[in-house]
Amino acid sequence: MSGKENCGALWLHESKNGAKYLSGMVEFDGKKVDIVVFKNKYKEEPKHPDYRIFPSTPQGEQQPVEAKEDDIPF
């Protein structure tokens, strides 16, 4: 290994409507944050991000809107 510490992990999922997304956890300075990652369906320029990161909300609460045409390349 490179000597750098692991600061989180992500898992690839597919929603009921077929959209792919990542979910997991990141940790910095001892604080853990659950996150979800979606492809940016509003990308129009090269300077716009390819993916967007959102804090994850507990099951039953409103989730961020998923990208309809998600093509995560990993």
DSSP string of 22-66, one letter each residue: EEEEEEETTEEEEEEEEE-TT--STTS-SEEEEE---TTSPPPPP
Place 28 in a pLDDT band, splitting at 50, 70 and 90.
Answer: confident
Report d(CA 22, CA 43) in Å as an integer: 18
Convert the pLDDT of each residue in 38-74 to its tens digit. 999 999 999 999 999 999 977 665 555 554 455 555 4
Q: Which residues pair with 21 in a beta bridge?
A: 13
* pLDDT of res. 68: 47
**pTM for the complete prediction?**
0.69
